[in-house]
């Protein structure tokens, strides 16, 4: 992304800004933090029909932005019986490059519901959440690089824009597998 590292950090670490661009979350709220304790948060995702799934998480490591970049790591879980995700962890890494910031993520999670849950995850949910992650990262890029407010690129607004010339997020612009170091 072509942006100052500090701006990218703020838009990804501030819960009110994060929930604006990330399709995976409707709301993210920090919980009160005791001195010396990890920052905990609650997340919600509306899934339609008036239903929402809730979960919690906490920051488990953070290296604020500097000349060599920055990173943040978290773990998350949900006790919501409707959530396919039981628990997981992930990180964001911010690597300065000549042409901007390489913004990377990696996450994994365990599912509930036994073998049916694992099958649903493998066939539908994991590909969908991977697409939503990539689409959201491109939505963030458009906001930072071009000033396109995330609310203007909400998924339901895309229906009226088919064939339009507006800058719309595209998951295809984001690499979804790690690069192979040393591969030609």
Cα–Cα distance for residue pair 173/155, rounded to 1 Å: 16
Q: Which residues lie below 8 Å from residue 7, measured CB to CB, with a gap of 6+? A: 144
The pLDDT tens digits of the residues spanning 101-159 come to: 999 999 999 999 999 999 999 999 999 999 999 999 999 999 999 999 998 887 655 55
Contact 15, 41 (CB under 8 A): yes
Q: 50 falls in which pLDDT band (50, 70, 90)?
A: confident
Q: 181 falls in which pLDDT band (50, 70, 90)?
A: very low
What average pLDDT score do residues 162-177 get? 57
What average pLDDT score do residues 33-62 get? 92
b/e per residue 63-97 (b: at least 16 CB within 10 A): eebeeebbbbbbbbbbebeebbbbbbbbebbbebe
Cα–Cα distance for residue pair 7/43, rounded to 1 Å: 22
In the DSSP assignment, the letter for residue 182 is T
Residue 166 confidence (pLDDT): 56
What CATH code is assigned to 5-122?
A: 3.30.530.20
Strand partners, 28: 43
CA atoms within 13 A on the CB side of 35: 0
Q: What sections of the chain are H helices per DSSP?
A: 5-13, 15-21, 114-120, 126-146, 155-158
Q: Which residues lie below 8 Å from residue 48, measured CB to CB, with a gap of 6+? A: none
Q: 18 falls in which pLDDT band (50, 70, 90)?
A: very high
| Residue found by looking up tokens 């001195």 in the block | 35
Residue 171 confidence (pLDDT): 56
Give the angle 83-84-87 at the CA atoms, nearest 5°.
Answer: 90
Sign of the alpha-carbon torsion through 79, 81, 83, 86: positive
Q: Is the pLDDT of residue 180 over 50?
A: no
Residue 165 confidence (pLDDT): 53
Q: Which residues lie below 8 Å from residue 33, measured CB to CB, with a gap of 6+? A: 39, 40
């Amino acid at each position: 992304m072509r942006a100052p590292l500090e701006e990218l950090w703020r838009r990804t670490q501030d819960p009110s800004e994060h929930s604006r661009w990330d399709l995976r979350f409707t709301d993210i709220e920090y919980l009160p933090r005791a001195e010396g304790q990890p920052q905990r948060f609650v997340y919600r995702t509306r899934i339609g029909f008036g239903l929402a799934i809730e979960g919690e998480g906490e920051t488990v490591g953070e290296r604020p932005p500097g000349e060599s970049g920055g990173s943040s790591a978290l773990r998350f879980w949900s006790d919501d019986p409707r959530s396919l995700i039981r628990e997981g962890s992930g990180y964001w890494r911010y690597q300065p490059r000549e042409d901007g910031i390489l913004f990377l993520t990696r996450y994994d999670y365990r599912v509930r519901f036994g073998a049916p849950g694992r099958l649903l995850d493998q066939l539908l949910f994991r590909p969908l959440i991977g697409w939503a992650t990539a689409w959201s990262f491109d939505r963030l890029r458009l906001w930072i690089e071009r000033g396109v407010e995330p609310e203007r690129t909400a998924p339901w607004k895309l229906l009226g824009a088919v064939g339009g010339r507006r800058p719309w997020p595209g998951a295809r612009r984001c690499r979804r597998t790690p690069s192979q170091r040393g591969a030609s």
